[in-house]
Amino acid sequence: MAKTAGRMKVRLYTSAHILDGYIDVLPKQRLLDILNGVLRGALRAKGGFLQISEAELCSSDGTKVTLQSAYINRANILFAREIEDGQTQGPGGEVGHKLYPFVSKSPAAVRLYMPLYTLTGQMHCAKGQHPSDVLNTGERFLALTNVQIASSGGSSESAVNFVAINKAQILCLEEGR
């Protein structure tokens, strides 16, 4: 399971590397909350860096380096996803009581163009919202589900359930794809 003993296995995508490793989590904490610096409710973590342990750093040329512990600048993360045994987990990874209020949302098909990647999936908008409204919220990372990840090099990953997107890295958003 991705969340064991207070750890979550994640894959972080940057413009130069893909990093697989573990981040420490509180019980039932979501990846999106971690990336946005939310600890509990409205409580926010300070600092712009995310600690990752037992990491494998893969460069675009295929070179791999193992890092026992590293700090990644959140601003340089293009997008991130939770993984379990090579498979992506949902945004919460667990079933049952949530620590955050439930808000009914409707999916909107979008295509996001980012440095080196194109992501096609569903952005979830609250009633009366459009993708542009979601882009203009105060959060740094937003959720995308049922995502197809394609790199500019032509390779693509099989569809993943959930990806947290760094809004500052979005070059263009196309609706209705």
pLDDT digits (tens, 9 = 90+) for 45-75: 667 899 999 999 999 888 999 999 999 999 9
Fold assignment, 3-88: SH3 type barrels. (2.30.30)
Per-domain residue ranges of the chain: 3-88, 105-175
Is 50 exceeded by the pLDDT of residue 168? yes
* In the predicted structure, residue 30 carries a pLDDT above the cut 80: yes
Res 105: pLDDT? 79
Q: Supply 133's token pair.
A: 């409204």
Query: Any idea which residue has 């079933």 for tokens?
Result: 95
CATH code of the domain made up of 105-175? 2.30.30.100
What is the average per-residue pLDDT within 142-165?
Answer: 88
> How confident is residue 177, by pLDDT bands cut at 50, 70 and 90?
low
Helix (H) or strand (E) holding 9: strand 7-13
Alpha carbons 120 and 125: distance in angstroms, whole number: 16
The predicted model scores a pTM of 0.79
- Domain pair 3-88 / 105-175, same fold: yes
| pLDDT single digits (tens) 71-124 | 999 999 999 999 875 443 344 443 333 444 556 778 899 999 999 999 999 998
33's CB contacts (< 8 A; 6+ apart) are 39, 100
Q: Which residues pair with 49 in a beta bridge?
A: 73
Determine the pLDDT at residue 47.
Answer: 73
